Structures are given as structure tokens and as C-alpha cells.
Amino acid sequence: MGYTNYWYQHENFTDEEWDQIKSFFRGMNSVFGGGGLIENQTIENQTYNQEDNIVFNGSIAPHETFVLNKFKQDIAYYDGDDTAFHFCKTNRKPYDKFVWAVLCFARSVKEDKSKFKISNDDGDSLGHEQEEGVPLSEEMMNQSPFENSNLTLNREKI
């Protein structure tokens, strides 16, 4: 099936939270996007406002497009659908680190952390309880998502 990142968004981001998340993404994109690692995408459905979404995929090795919305999803697509649940399958391709970075940053600015929970197939989790009942969050949030990575910039494209 492929490596996946998951998140639960139980409420909208405030304007202040969203401005911080968008600024983080723009900064990350100007540094790493210029190196050819991620590619901004647009949503073709006209019901979406591009300013209310962060949308990207890997440019070197794309997989599933990542979409983070300012507003929580209210429409259930089938009976029993948990509208708070979202995921992005990256299959551990290079842009996976950017997906996880955006999710970590989004959670870090969320005033009520219980309203935005994230996890991935490595077992990293913020907002979900571990088996011992101890949340992982603080130690993980203090680490850069790019530490110990092999990401390099293609200087020719900058």
C-alpha cells in the first residue's frame, strides 16, 4: 500500500494559525521547492479557494498529492465517514519530509492541540497516546523534520 501520513482535523484553523502555516510553507517552498524537491499544485475543483489550501506533491518522485485545508471537512462521503480523518500516501519519497514538516508545524501553532492530531506509519505521533499512555509530542516538536535526512538542493535550479 505504501508509507502514509495521517491527520485528524477537528476544527478550522483560525486566521492567525493559518497565516503562520502558510508563511512556514512559503518559506519551506522558497528554499526547498527551488531545489526541485516539491512542486506546488492547484485543485481543479472550483469550489476550493487556493488561499485556503496548501497543495503540493514531489517533483522528483511524485506520489499522492498532499492537501491541507484551512477549514475542517464537514461533508461525509459515505455513512460512518469520519470527516476529521485525512491521509497522504508518500511511499517514503523525498517529499515525505515536507508533508511531515507541514503537519508538525500546523499542530505546533494549533491553540487546542487535541483538535489536530498527526501520525505516520513509522509510529511517530503527536496528539495520540502511546501504549504507555505518554504522548510523544514535546521531544518530537523540538527536532527538525530535516535532521538526519539526505535531502540536498539541486543548486542549478535555484
User: Is the predicted pLDDT of residue 151 greater than 50, yes or no?
Assistant: no
First to last CA, the chain: 34
To the question of pTM greater than 0.85 for the whole model, the response is no
126 with 119: CB under 8 angstroms?
yes
Which phi and psi (to 5°) does residue 51 adopt?
Answer: -70, -20
Higher pLDDT among residues 137 and 32, named by residue: 32
* Dist CA 7 CA 23 (whole Å): 20
**Binning pLDDT at 50, 70 and 90, where does residue 35 land?**
low
The amino acid at 41: Q
Our count of domains for the chain comes to 1
* Structural domain for 109, as ranges: 4-146+153-157
DSSP per-residue letters across 113-141: GGGEEEEETTS-EESSBPTTS-B-HHHHH
* Dist CA 35 CA 154 (whole Å): 5
DSSP per-residue letters across 96-120: HHHHHHHHHHHHHH-SSGGGEEEEE
pLDDT of residue 36: 67
pLDDT of residue 121: 93
Q: What is the mean pLDDT of residues 54-76?
A: 89
**Binning pLDDT at 50, 70 and 90, where does residue 48 land?**
low
The tens digit of pLDDT for each residue in 119-138 reads 999 988 877 544 333 333 34
User: Is the predicted pLDDT of residue 46 greater than 50, yes or no?
Assistant: no
| Contacting residues for 135 by C-beta, under 8 A, at least 6 apart | 125, 126, 127, 128, 129
Mean pLDDT, all residues of the chain: 77
Q: What is the mean pLDDT of residues 68-87?
A: 90
**Binning pLDDT at 50, 70 and 90, where does residue 19 land?**
very high
